[in-house]
Amino acid sequence: MAAKHRFLEKKQRFSESILWNLQSEAYCQFGPEAWSYKGVPFYLTSNPYTAKQYVSVVIGYLRDCLKSNSATPLNISQPIYIFDLGAGTGRFGFLFLKELLEILESIWDFKLDIRYVMTDIAYRNIAFWQQHPYLEKYIKRGILDFAYYYHGMSEDQPIKLILSHQELTPSMIHNPIILIANYFFDTIPQDLFRIKEGKLQEGQISISVKPSKETERLGPEDPKIIEHLECHYDYVPITKADYYSDPQLNKLLAAYLNQFNQATFLFPVGAFQSIRYFSFLSRQRLLLLAGDQGVSTKEQVEAWGEPKVSRHGSFSIAVSYHAIAHFFKQCLGAGLLTTFSDPLFVVMAGIFGGVEEEYGETCLAFKDSLDRFEPQDYWNIVNAIENKLDSFPLGYLLKLIRLGNWDPINFNAFFDTIRKKIPEASEALKKELGIVIHQVWEHFYPVSSDESGFILNLGVLFYELKKYQEALLFFQRSLNLSGEKASTLMNMAACYLAMKNQKAAQECFRRAKEPESKHPDRSFDTGSKSGF
């Protein structure tokens, strides 16, 4: 007879499930390895294209706040705080700051005091940011700071900045807050409801694991158990008139009862709690930019149904941006959604401090940057051609990289094809490739030493272009990240031989522990593309 499943919990309110504690524990244990080795998705929210789109909306918002009749005027003598919730590796923050500061320095003759604050629940991530050399210049300029933030923090708990040792309270915030929440709301608590025959029901979760040698060794709080969880849902009638203590959430539930006849839907209470916290901190002056898997239309809400737990070392659950946008509008703000949203990745903007008509620049930037061509659209195009790269001309591939705002990850995916096409390329195209490589490098942010292979490959391309000095520069950068590697040193030796510098070549051979070069024309070693 088959052994019975072991239950970790039975008929628990969804937002109070052990799932969420397991999630927090997973991120705290994994630290930056969640993205480099554990398989947690990151691309759509950690690439230069998305960063540029977000910056465009932020610039529009700042323009609106600088108008003389602004609903949320800026005090340019005071800091403007940008909070990046669940900043993970810090890659998005690096790309966003790079783009934002370059634009701010070129469009206004006065300086805005930008304070970008990366937050996380994992102290390992915060320690990683503090030691990351690519963030050092922003730290030294006082632009970048870090903080611990957990979605359940109450309004009487200030944000404590780690580097400046400030404790931020509403009295210290003199400007509207900009809040970035990428792949954040889909990892924090949600409630589950069902509307049946015009009545609201609470969704409850039961979680079990199938007995096995592996699951028997895992405790109920071990994140490794996430991969083995089996979820079942039950529904019970809601008898009380006010389900939440927050009247705005009850009002939103009532609106759903009026809007849907039959539906099972998630209600992002963790997202509402975080939005409320920063709205309180900013005295209801706020711009939110967020992106997750999720739903944004009535039809998507109806079609989605019960939670689908996506497992990837940790887990994520789709977010109802339909509900979040309605929440902003219900609170006399603005909720902006895209026209052709894909549930794989939904982006939105929310504003507290005035209605949509008062934020013309913000809405225009959202429409022009995020609605017209979403992050998911760029990703879809690249995915569609990735298995047919050989059939595309080199110039086309370089244009795709430029479209992606010099995206290193897709350049890495194109590397083999680009290298093969160099011998037939025109001189003009080779010159363009050299420029693209340098721009891609400027947008590169390493998360692990494995990514030294990407830098190595940039050097390989310069070698193929017969630009040996530039190739050497990138080989040395690769060594700086990975430490001494024989393959990289041999590539450097080949460069020196091509430059007729025998002495330098022999030194590289010595460092690579090869006494002499028996194969000076050997094929180049290239880097592994698994680092991203």
Tracing tokens 């996380």 back to the chain, one arrives at: 120
Whole-angstrom Cα distance, residue 266 to residue 194?
Answer: 9
Report the DSSP beta bridge partners of residue 118: 84, 146
Prediction pTM value: 0.93
- Check if the beta carbon of residue 73 is closer than 8 Å to that of residue 371: no
Whole-angstrom Cα distance, residue 145 to residue 153?
Answer: 19
Which positions ≥6 away from 414 have C-beta within 8 Å? 389, 397, 400, 401
What pLDDT was estimated at residue 310? Answer: 74
Whole-angstrom Cα distance, residue 492 to residue 477?
Answer: 11
Sign of the Cα pseudo-torsion (81, 85, 90, 94, in order): negative
What pLDDT was estimated at residue 25? Answer: 85
- Check if the beta carbon of residue 9 is closer than 8 Å to that of residue 17: yes
- Edge to edge, the sheet with strand 114-120 lists 144-148, 114-120, 80-84, 177-182, 286-292, 346-352, 334-337
Phi, psi angles (nearest 5°) of residue 169 = -125, 165
Tracing tokens 């109450």 back to the chain, one arrives at: 154
- From the list 144, 141, 146, 138, the residue with the least C-alpha distance to 162 is 146
CA distances from 126 to 90, 388, 449 (A): 9, 40, 18
Whole-angstrom Cα distance, residue 248 to residue 254?
Answer: 10
What pLDDT tens digit does each residue of the chain (532 aa) get? 355 778 889 999 999 998 988 888 888 787 777 655 545 557 788 899 999 999 999 999 999 999 999 999 999 999 999 999 999 999 999 999 999 999 999 998 889 999 999 999 999 999 999 999 999 999 999 999 999 999 888 888 999 999 999 999 999 999 999 999 999 999 999 999 999 988 999 999 998 888 777 767 777 677 788 888 889 999 999 988 899 999 999 999 999 999 998 999 999 999 999 999 999 999 999 999 999 999 999 999 999 888 888 776 677 889 999 999 999 999 999 999 999 999 999 999 999 999 999 999 999 999 999 999 999 999 999 999 988 999 999 999 999 999 999 999 999 999 999 999 999 999 999 999 999 999 999 999 999 888 899 999 999 999 999 999 999 999 999 999 998 899 999 999 999 999 999 999 999 999 997 544 444 334 445 655 444 4
Which pairs from 124-127 meet CB under 8 Å and 24+ separation? 124/28, 124/30, 124/31, 124/32, 125/27, 125/31, 125/32, 125/87, 125/88, 125/89, 125/90, 126/162
Whole-angstrom Cα distance, residue 434 to residue 329?
Answer: 48
Sorted by where each starts, the structural domains of the chain and their CATH numbers stand as 6-21+189-268 (no CATH), 38-185+271-372 (3.40.50), 392-511 (1.25.40.10)
Phi, psi angles (nearest 5°) of residue 176 = -60, 150
Which positions ≥6 away from 417 have C-beta within 8 Å? 389, 390, 392, 397
43 burial level (CB within 10 Å; 0-12, 13-18, 19+):
middle
Helix-strand-coil split of the chain, %, nearest 5? 50, 20, 30
What pLDDT was estimated at residue 1? Answer: 37
What pLDDT was estimated at residue 202? Answer: 97
Which positions ≥6 away from 261 have C-beta within 8 Å? 195, 198
- DSSP string across 204-245: EEEEEE---HHHHH--TT-GGGGGGEEEEEEEEE--SS-SSS
What pLDDT was estimated at residue 460? Answer: 96
Whole-angstrom Cα distance, residue 216 to residue 69?
Answer: 64
Phi, psi angles (nearest 5°) of residue 201 = -125, 145
Whole-angstrom Cα distance, residue 158 to residue 167?
Answer: 6
- From the list 45, 336, 308, 36, the residue with the least C-alpha distance to 180 is 45
